[in-house]
C-alpha cells in the first residue's frame, strides 16, 4: 500500500456492506489484523470512526468487498497524514455533545447506527459510532436511541471531569438535529407514536 493512490473519503458515499454476497472469501486473520490496526487509529482519527466501525462488523464473515473497503481506509489515511487532534487554548472547558443516527443502515438486520461526539472547550474530546441494539421504526426512534447513548456517555464524562477537578457548572447540552426527537424527550406523556419505544431509553427525559 506504500505506492497506493490516495482517496478523499474513508468510505464511498452511500456504501452498504453485507455479510452476504457473491464476493470471494478472504483470510479472516489478515482481515482482522488490518481492521484491528484501523481500530487503534480511531483513538486519534475521528474521521475514520464510522468506516472502521462498519468494517468491524464482518470479522467472522469477511469477503473481498470488505477487504477492498478496508484498504480504501488506508488509501484515505495516506492522503490525510497531516490530520489529527488539535487542542487549542480555551477560555472555558465546557462539555457539549452532538448526536446523530441513520435509519436502518445495516442491510443485514435493518438496525440503525448511532454516532456522537463531545467537545471540551475548543477540542474534540470523545466520539463513537456504533450499531444500535434494537431495530428502530421511525427516524425519530433511531435518533432517540442515539441521544440516549450520548446522555449515558455524558454522565460518565462528567464524573471523569469531576475527578480531575474540571467541574461542569452547567448542564451538558446534547445537540440533536431531529425536532421530533427533541419533542419526545421533553414530553413525559406516552402516546401512540412512542408507546413502542423501549422504556430503558426514556431516562433521557430526566436529564434536563
Q: What is the pLDDT of residues 42-96, one digit of tens each?
A: 999 999 999 999 999 999 999 999 999 999 999 999 999 999 888 888 888 999 9
Angle between helices 28-41 and 64-79 (to 10 degrees): 30
The model's pTM: 0.84
pLDDT at 188: 61
Residue pointed to by grid coordinates 467472522: 60
Asked whether the beta carbons of 19 and 108 are under 8 A apart, the reply is yes
Residue 177 has pLDDT above 80, yes or no: yes
CA dist list (Å): 185 to 56, 103, 120, 156, 204: 31, 19, 24, 20, 6
Report the alpha-carbon distance of residue 53 to residue 35 in Å, rounded. 9
Class of domain 95-207: alpha beta
Sequence spans of domains, the chain: 1-83, 95-207
CA 146 to chain centre: 9
Amino acid at each position: 500500500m506504500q505506492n497506493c493512490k490516495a482517496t478523499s473519503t474513508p468510505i464511498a458515499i452511500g456504501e452498504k456492506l453485507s455479510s452476504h454476497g457473491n464476493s470471494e472469501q478472504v483470510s479472516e486473520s489478515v482481515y482482522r489484523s488490518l481492521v484491528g490496526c484501523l481500530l487503534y487509529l480511531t483513538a486519534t482519527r475521528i474521521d475514520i470512526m464510522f468506516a472502521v466501525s462498519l468494517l468491524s462488523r464482518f470479522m467472522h464473515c469477511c469477503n473481498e468487498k470488505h477487504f477492498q473497503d478496508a484498504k480504501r481506509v488506508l488509501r484515505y489515511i495516506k492522503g490525510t497524514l497531516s490530520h489529527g487532534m488539535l487542542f487549542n487554548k480555551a477560555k472555558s472547558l465546557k462539555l457539549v455533545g452532538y448526536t446523530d443516527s441513520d435509519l436502518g443502515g445495516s442491510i443485514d438486520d435493518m438496525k440503525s447506527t448511532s454516532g456522537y461526539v463531545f467537545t471540551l472547550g475548543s477540542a474534540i474530546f470523545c466520539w463513537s459510532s456504533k450499531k444500535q441494539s434494537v431495530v428502530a421504526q421511525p427516524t425519530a426512534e433511531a435518533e432517540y436511541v442515539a441521544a440516549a447513548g450520548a446522555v449515558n456517555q455524558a454522565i460518565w464524562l462528567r464524573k471523569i471531569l469531576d475527578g480531575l477537578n474540571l467541574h461542569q457548572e452547567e448542564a451538558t447540552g446534547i445537540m440533536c438535529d431531529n425536532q421530533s426527537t427533541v419533542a419526545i424527550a421533553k414530553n413525559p406523556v406516552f402516546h401512540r407514536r412512542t408507546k413502542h419505544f423501549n422504556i430503558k431509553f426514556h431516562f433521557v427525559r430526566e436529564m434536563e
